[in-house]
Amino acid sequence: MSLTIAQASARTGLSIDTLRYYERDGLLLRPVARSATGHRRYDEADLEWVRLVTCLRATGMPVREVRRYADLVRAGDGTEQDRLDLLHEHREQVIAQLEQVTAHLSAIERKIGLYTEKLHGAETERAGGLDLERAPAGSLAP
C-alpha cells in the first residue's frame, strides 16, 4: 500500500510543495520511493516520519534542526544519545515558550476584562473612568 504525493498531502496536511521541499532539504530519512514513471510513492513509514517532522515543526523547531535530527537518525546506531539530547533541549524550549505565551495570554485576558467592564458595565458603573490605552491628555498639545 503506497500513496501518491496528493494522497500523502491529504493524509499529512502538508502541501504537495512542502512534501517535496522537505525531501529536497533532507528532512526525510531517505528519498521517497518512486513508481516506474518516476512518481513518488509514500509508504506508511514515510507518513509516520512526516508526522513526526510536523510535530517538531509545529512546536517551533527550525527546519535546520529537524534536518540535524534526521541526519542523526540516518547515521544509525550510536547517535541515540545525541537524538535524545536534541529532543530534550527542544522540550525545554517548548515548555519555556508555553509558559511565556500563557503569561502573555493572561495579560491579554486582563485587558479583555477591562474592555468588557467598560462596555457592558458602563450602564451600572459610570464613575472613575478606565483609561485603557488613551494617550495622556495634553501630551502633544501642552
Q: Which residues bind DNA (CB under 7 A)?
A: 4-7, 15-18, 20-21, 24, 34, 36-40, 57, 62-64
Answer for which of 101, 128, 129, 138 binds a copy of itself (CB under 8 A) is 101
Choose the contact partner of 142 out of a copy of itself, DNA, none; CB within 5 to 8 A by kind.
Answer: none
Q: Does the footprint of a copy of itself cover residue 118 (CB under 8 A)? A: yes
Q: Does the footprint of a copy of itself cover residue 89 (CB under 8 A)? A: no
3-state secondary structure the chain: CCECHHHHHHHHCCCHHHHHHHHHCCCCCCCCEECCCCCEEECHHHHHHHHHHHHHHHCCCCHHHHHHHHHHHHHCCCCHHHHHHHHHHHHHHHHHHHHHHHHHHHHHHHHHHHHHHHHHCCCCCCCCCCCCCCCCCCCCCC
Answer for which of 13, 21, 111, 121 binds a copy of itself (CB under 8 A) is 111
Q: Does the footprint of a copy of itself cover residue 92 (CB under 8 A)? A: no
Choose the contact partner of 52 out of DNA, a copy of itself, none; CB within 5 to 8 A by kind.
Answer: a copy of itself
Q: How far is the CB of 16 from a copy of itself (least distance, A)?
A: 22
